[in-house]
Structure 1
C-alpha cells in the first residue's frame, strides 16, 4: 500500500509530464497504470487524495482462532495437520497463535502427522500395501496415518534402499494400447507447446528489454543480453530450460549476472539524459542530447548516448505529413524567385522566409504565420490565430519590420504563392518598408524548404506527440507561443555549434 505522500507525488508528476503514464511510471518506478489513473481521477474529483487508515480489522475472528487451537491441541499438536484439516490460517499465523496459547511448548511440530508410534507389524503391512496397491502412494499414506516420505522410509528400513522403487502403477497394465498411444502423443504435444511458449516469451522479452529486431534468431544475442533475458524470466521458467534454449553456459550466466548486479557507472548520466529529454519536449535525438550533456560538462560519446537512449526507451517521435495550402490561384502577377533554394545567409535580416501552417484541434483549427531568418533559423516574429485572414500575416509583417534598424539593408521576403502574399494590404506594407518580394514556383514546396522544415520540426516535436483533446484554442495558442520562445532561446541546433539562435547571436555580439 502506498502512502499519501507517494500517491500525491505520483499524481503531481503525472500532471507535470502532460498525463503521460509511461513516463511517470518510468521516472518513479511505481505504481501500475490503472492505479495511477485512479489516483488522478480521485484527485480531479476531490482536489485531494484520501488519507487511508493503516489499521485493519483482524482477518480471523476469535472463534476461528479458538477452533484452530482446539484442533491443534486435540489432534497430535501438529501444525500441518491442523492446516490441512481447517484450511486456515497461514503457517506463520498458526505458529504464532500456538506459541501464545501454549508458552510451555518448546518447539512446534510442523510435520504432516503426529509422532511415529507405529508398530513393526503396521509398518510391514504398509510396505506390502505399497507394492500391491491399486491406488496412489499418497492415498495409502493417508489411510495409514503417515506422510508419503515416511512410507518410503519404511520401505528402505525393511527392504533396503537398493530395493527397486517400483511403487507407481504402470499405465500400460491398465490402459488400452490405443489410449496409451494417445497419452504419449498428448505428452509430446504438451512438451512442444511449452517449448514454443518459452521461445515466444524470450522473443517478446528481447523486443521489450533489449529493443532489438531479432528476426527469430536468439542465438545472435550476446551473452550479457541472454543473461538479461534469463533474469527477467527466471520466475516463470526454470533457469536450466532457458539456458538450454539460448545455448548459454551456466558459468557465463553467473558471470554476467554478477556483472549486471554491480553499480551502473552511467547512472548519473542516465538521470541527466532523461531530465534533458523530458524538459525539451522529448524531441532531442542522440546528437543534440550529447551536445546538451557536453554543455553540462558530461563528456560522453555518441555511441554511448545511443545505447543509453535505447535502454531508457527515449524515442523521438516520427514525423507525419499533413499540409495546409493557401493557394487561391494566380490572382496577381507573381514576383521572381530570387532565393532559388539558397537558404544560406551571411548576416541577419538578409533573407526572410514565411508561410502559414494549420493545426487541427477538437475545439477548432489554429493557424501559425512566422517569419524565419535564414541566417540562423531565428523566428523573427509570429502571429497565431483561428482564422487564416489578411490580419494574421499583416500583423506578423509589421512586427518583423519593427526589428529592422533604419540603417540596415532591406531583406528579401520569400513566400509561396498563397493569396495572403498577393492582397493589397501585404503589398502596401512591403512597398512602405522597401522590402524585396520573392515567391516560389507554382506547386513547388521545395522552393521554401527551410520554412517547411521549421513546420515539420514544430509538429514532430511539439504537436503530434501530445494529446490536445482537452485544450481550447486559446490554451493551445499559448502553448505554441511558449514553444516558439523555447525554440529561439533554448533549443540547441547542431549547425550553430550546439547553441540556440539567440545564444548564437549573443556569442557573435549581435545581441546584448
Structure 2
C-alpha cells in the first residue's frame, strides 16, 4: 500500500491532467488503474483521503538511486538497466529518472555520439528482437528512431538489412518458408553481434585489454585463452572466426598452455618436496 502523500499526489495529478488514468500512471510510475479510481472516489466524497493505512515502499531510496545511476552510466538504456538489476518496471524507472536525473529525459538528438559501442550493440539487439515498437526501443535508449536504424545498418550485414526490408514490404500472401528463412538469417546476424559483444567483454575481463574500434592486437596465446573462456556458450568455429585465429594455431597454443600447466604442477611439487626435505634435515 502507498503512503498518504503518494496517494494524494496521484489524485491531484489525476485531476490536473483531466482525469486521464493512463497518462497519470505513466508520469508517476504507480498505481494501478483500479487503485487510482478508488483513491479518487474517496477524495471526491470527502475532499480528503483516509490517513489510516500505509506500507513500506517496495523499493528503498538506495534501490532507486542505484537504478538511476546504472541508467546514467550504461548508455541511458532502460531495458539494459532492468535486465542488469532485475527491477523495476519500465514506467517506474522512467519516473525515478524524471525525479532524480531530469536532464536525462531531455531530447537526445545529438547524444548518440556519447553512447558506448556496447550500448549501441544492446540497442540494436533490442531492436531486432523487440516485442515492442522501434520507437519504444528508441525512447528507452534516449535517441531518435533514425539513429537506431542507422546503428543497425552499421552493425549488421547489408544483406540482413535488405532482407529485413523485404520482410516488412512483403505482401500477406508471401510464401511462409521464405519468410522463415529471412527471420532465421536475421537471428544469425543478431547472434553474431552478441558474439562480438561477448568477445569484447571477455577480453576486457580476462586479458585486461579494452578492444574498441582500434583494437589492440592480441597474441595467438591470448586469443586461445579467450576462445576457451567462451567455448561453453559458442561453437568453436564461430569463436575462431571472430578472433581471426586459424584452427591449427589454436590447437598448437592450447597444447602449449596445457604443457605449461603441467610443468607448473611439477614445479610446485618440487618446491613442496624441497621444503619438506629442508625441514627434516634441520
Q: Normalization by structure 2: what TM-score?
A: 0.30
More strand by share: 1
Q: Normalization by structure 1: what TM-score?
A: 0.17
Larger CA Rg, structure 1 vs 2: 1
More helix by share: 2
